[in-house]
Structure 1
């Protein structure tokens, strides 16, 4: 078999029965070679397709928008990314285009059904950037037609004041840069004197699977390296000022090995800073991931807030916000084997429920 064109793909079994195993081996070898070439070609096509989408999305103007939408709808390109394409496109459009152009072109009434996901994501990207949906009839209409089964329908179509500090990546045609604001601030510090007590608390983690999944929603969406959640019912109401001393004694894997003099730093944080941290975690992702972008980042940040604050299952966005405002929030960092201490790669969040009888903890690290 000197030429791959001579290969008879349907004869492998017959030739093997005839004792011509070398034919079957050569067939396999040439198939492997062809597959390598084909995969290389596919990856190059995907790279070029991704660039085409980026050029159209990053170029302002209605002509670019019209051609981008037509291309996405008619060809539905695969760019090789493990993340869905439309949330990324929506994020870039919100960043680079005039709202009037987006309202006129993307949200026009006769829009293609395939692009409904783009419109849903774009709506919330714009909301996060402070655009009032009632200012543009097309946006006002889109805000009311999102089907109730769509995950983003849970979100309000106005920006909540705690969301006004949302961080977005700095992007260009050639790439992007971003950082998750996870460093402990100097203000609000309530660090404990050392040595701390070495006694361990008798409290036990009671987080159910559903509650745990809710708490870790943001780092899970952002595909951070590791994360954990714990919930501790308290025997009596505990005032906020006692939380810093209680926290290092709790039986949590992220604190295993913490000694009485090891670094343990903690600060009281306002709700808007906690939300900002969770939003960046989900929307911009970890070191080797681009995140879920603004719309879904907004959703998963609030999902983590709901779990941490103890909001009941099925609570509305307004109910979660109300409970979160009544919750006491803390941010901590520590030196244990579970954490790694890298900048913008580790953090812990603590929530003391409004009745002061429940402590919930989220720990996340983005270092392998």
Structure 2
């Protein structure tokens, strides 16, 4: 017979140590079994509360109007939701608000730091959500003021305060109270194709991967943030400058797991792509996530897309956004797919990106797959 909760606590703190010392460990084990069962039940109850709370927050965020918005902000200010449910994350709430609330209402309420002192994380995320959707962040007002008062230590403060031209027309998921629709447009385009002729040379390249741990982590930032199934990164320093036309034939010969075992006639398709299309692919990977995750949403999706682009283009580790942009614009970008075992070739779930540096003496590669 199970003990009442108060009685169980008395036994744990009052008798367990003594009973164990007097040779009755089975009594202690019985206490532990009861505690484990109650702990599991309490965790499930907590998860149920989190699911309910996330649903209510979603309703408030998705109901247009200042009244609903104010009630949500009051909740977040007075009783900040705690838990691990994705729907309780501030970045997710900011993304919902940017999708469903009017920009003037958001600017007038959320960015009033006198009224809502504790919501800097919400403001930080919402600023970039609105920026990517085309909100004017340069005209004098709360949005521009935020760039001067935001915490300088915050990771999102590294990003440009204005939307760059290659970030225009970013894709976002579509959410309702009970559902959502999203997807990463990772399929290789028909334009810009540079597929090397088959059979390809079977001689492997003598180049060796020189990616450090830090560079590897920077390159894979977007798929890692998006929770994709697997990703890899490689960097190769060339003995002499290559022309962009030489890169497609070199890629399948490089010592990379993503092309290991690829035969001379196996499918290897590659296309040259503008930098903006590469950024959008990286942004969607991080922001929308994979088939089993919801991603990190617009603000942090923007950050990790820039990080991956920095690593691929070879920007210095301490480079600011302006230097990363310049390096990326001067790089040559490629998108590839292959029938290698590493890829699973499900539509929208596999891709490879390669970047030829501005001096044409460095090739960096990112491969990502969203299948297990």
User: Could you tell me the TM-score, scaled by structure 2's length?
Assistant: 0.95
Deviation at 1:30, TM superposition (A): 2.2
> May I ask how many residue pairs the two structures share in their alignment?
368
Tell me, in whole angstroms, the C-alpha distance in 1 between the residues paired with 2:140 and 2:93.
Answer: 21
Alignment match, 2:355:
351
- Contact 2:220–2:308 (Cα < 8 Å) also in 1: yes
Alignment match, 2:245:
241
Q: 2:157 aligns with which of 153, 156, 180?
A: 153
Alignment match, 1:80:
84
Task: Give CA-to-partner distance per residue, 1:268-315, whole Å, 9 cap, x none.
Answer: 111111000000011111121111110111011011111111112222
Q: 2:35 aligns with which of 31, 36, 46?
A: 31
Structure 2: gaps of 5 or more residues: none
**Structure 1's 218 and 90: CA in aligned 2 closer, same or farther, altered over 3 A?**
same
Alignment match, 1:298:
302
Deviation at 1:79, TM superposition (A): 4.2
**Structure 1's 215 and 83: CA in aligned 2 closer, same or farther, altered over 3 A?**
farther
Deviation at 1:50, TM superposition (A): 0.6
Alignment match, 2:112:
108
Q: How is 1:322-333 mapped onto 2 (pairs within 5 angstroms)?
A: 322-333=326-337
- Contact 1:222–1:281 (Cα < 8 Å) also in 2: yes
Q: How is 1:26-65 mapped onto 2 (pairs within 5 angstroms)?
A: 26-65=30-69
Deviation at 1:153, TM superposition (A): 1.0
Deviates more, 1:2-11 or 1:303-312: 2-11
Q: 2:192 aligns with which of 179, 183, 188?
A: 188
Tell me, in whole angstroms, the C-alpha distance in 1 between the residues paired with 2:349 and 2:262.
Answer: 19
- Contact 2:131–2:162 (Cα < 8 Å) also in 1: yes
Q: 1:12 aligns with which of 10, 16, 25?
A: 16
Structure 1: gaps of 5 or more residues: none
Deviation at 1:210, TM superposition (A): 1.9
SS of 2:282's equivalent in the other structure is helix
Deviation at 1:250, TM superposition (A): 0.8
Tell me, in whole angstroms, the C-alpha distance in 2 between the residues paired with 1:155 and 1:305.
Answer: 13
Q: 1:277 aligns with which of 259, 281, 302?
A: 281
**Structure 1's 111 and 120: CA in aligned 2 closer, same or farther, altered over 3 A?**
farther
- Contact 1:206–1:230 (Cα < 8 Å) also in 2: yes
Q: 2:318 aligns with which of 311, 314, 334?
A: 314
- Contact 1:165–1:272 (Cα < 8 Å) also in 2: no
Alignment match, 1:251:
255
Tell me, in whole angstroms, the C-alpha distance in 1 between the residues paired with 2:176 and 2:295.
Answer: 17
SS of 1:361's equivalent in the other structure is strand
Q: List structure 1 runs of 4+ shifted beyond 6 angstroms.
A: none
Tell me, in whole angstroms, the C-alpha distance in 1 between the residues paired with 2:3 and 2:125.
Answer: 51
Deviation at 1:165, TM superposition (A): 2.7
Alignment match, 1:266:
270
**Structure 1's 178 and 188: CA in aligned 2 closer, same or farther, altered over 3 A?**
same
User: Could you tell me the TM-score, scaled by structure 1's length?
Assistant: 0.96
Is 2:80 the counterpart of 1:67? no
Tell me, in whole angstroms, the C-alpha distance in 2 between the residues paired with 1:356 and 1:281.
Answer: 27
Deviates more, 1:248-257 or 1:27-36: 27-36
SS of 2:118's equivalent in the other structure is helix
Deviation at 1:131, TM superposition (A): 0.6
SS of 2:354's equivalent in the other structure is strand
Task: Give CA-to-partner distance per residue, 1:106-159, whole Å, 9 cap, x none.
Answer: 001404342101101100100000111134611111122222211111111211
Deviation at 1:342, TM superposition (A): 1.0
